Structure 1
């Protein structure tokens, strides 16, 4: 989403409930999105999150410090008008999910992957009746079309707001199955995050880390947690 900047010219921030949803008003003027759509939100919880972000701004609005506002803008301006395109992108993760691809060596890494990832594959089999193929190496693993249809179907039943949050969870973690697990409250967000980091943490154990990589990881973690919360409070 392109950056947008405005100066703070308001004193009061208020959540207003309407028949269609919730609005956030600045000095009684409802906020609009960069594409000039009303910032109409699906829940009071999300509206309060957005309102708090606007209350915390000083002289100049800084979008990078307003993740719930930015995701709401994205849901209204982009996802709602390109829903199928966004859903199709996320559904492709079902074909290449992180949890399918295991190391061929060393044994210690294989054990870490198995311990971290197999519970998610067991969960998706038991809860969604989806069985997947797993292999070692990086070569593409063919999955059964019928199983993939079952795995992908829930994406297309989400709302634009849910899909905006789900997009963050899937693309940051690299796992469609992990994303389903967290939004269905089967696993905690930190469990999914830790599972998605097995390979990276193994590399750190072997070679160490640097400040730049640690900062990038921390930002991804924060964005991942925000995506999880955004999805839940968009219900």
Structure 2
């Protein structure tokens, strides 16, 4: 989609069986691998349609302008065909989780995450150093079991959140409702904001903060809308 221009006149959502398809000029949107963009939630389909409808006539567009479409594409073409592969990829991120390598490992956001994880028998070890921390026996197995309970929608969101925050554990807590998006953003941007406070304005750091916040909020919106399944 990079470098393309708007070529459609109308945007609508059509129901096909149990799915809802955003359509351009009454044609389905085809994802890069050829699958049709269709989701179970009418609210999500309408929001995706809104992304396409919001592009001005003849204006150029890129995937960055269509974040909900991008996450939906990942869910449909990468995760749905092999969700176990997605779970294994995410589990790899949890081996050296960013939440376990921070000075505020006992801070309020971390405390919320670790408290929530206790209910699933997950007890991560935490360090304020740079050397790899050894996780207790059973940690990865319990984490894998928690990932098994996550569906395609949640796996797609976890992928975005884990990459944006640097923490699968934090991402799981957000999807599980134990940590708010606002707190996730604050924790994820803590280092950059500390650098800004110490060294002053840095445009690159500001962009990094803004992009990370956008990714987290887009993922949260996708999750909230996607859970409004229509019957």
TM-score by length of 1: 0.85
Could you say which residue in structure 1 is the equivalent of 2:113? 120
| Distance across 1 between alignment mates of 2:226 and 2:95 | 27
Query: Is residue 220 of structure 2 the alignment partner of residue 208 of structure 1?
Result: no
SS of the counterpart of 2:138?
helix
Aligned residue pair count: 224
Segments of 5+ residues of structure 1 without an aligned counterpart are 104-111
Alpha-carbon distance change, 38 to 72 in structure 1, aligned in 2, over 3 angstroms = same
* Preserved CA contact (<8 Å) 1:100 1:133: yes
Q: Deviations over 1:122-166 (max 9, x none)?
A: 2211x3232121223111111124232112323234333322221
Q: Map 1:2-151 onto structure 2 (within 5 A).
A: 3-58=1-56, 59-60=58-59, 62=61, 63-103=63-103, 112-116=104-108, 117-125=110-118, 127-151=119-143
CA RMSD, Structure 1 to Structure 2 (Å): 2.1
Which one of 180, 187, 210 corresponds to residue 179 of structure 2? 187
Shift of 1:6: 4.1
Could you say what secondary structure the match of 1:23 adopts?
strand
Once the 2 structures are TM-superposed, how far is the Cα of residue 172 of structure 1 from its aligned partner? Answer: 0.8
Asked if structure 2 preserves the Cα contact closer than 8 Å seen for 1:15 and 1:48, the reply is yes
Structure with higher helix content: 1
Structure 2 runs not aligned, ≥5 long: none
In structure 2, the partner of 1:230 is 222
TM-score (normalised: structure 2): 0.86
Question: In 1, Cα distance between the equivalents of 2:101 and 2:8?
Answer: 52
Per the alignment, do residues 133 and 154 of structure 1 end up closer, same or farther by CA in structure 2, a change over 3 Å counting? same
Instruction: For 1:123 and 1:77, locate their aligned partners in 2 and report how far apart those are by CA, in whole Å.
Output: 31
1:206–1:90 distance in 2 versus 1, CA, 3 Å: same
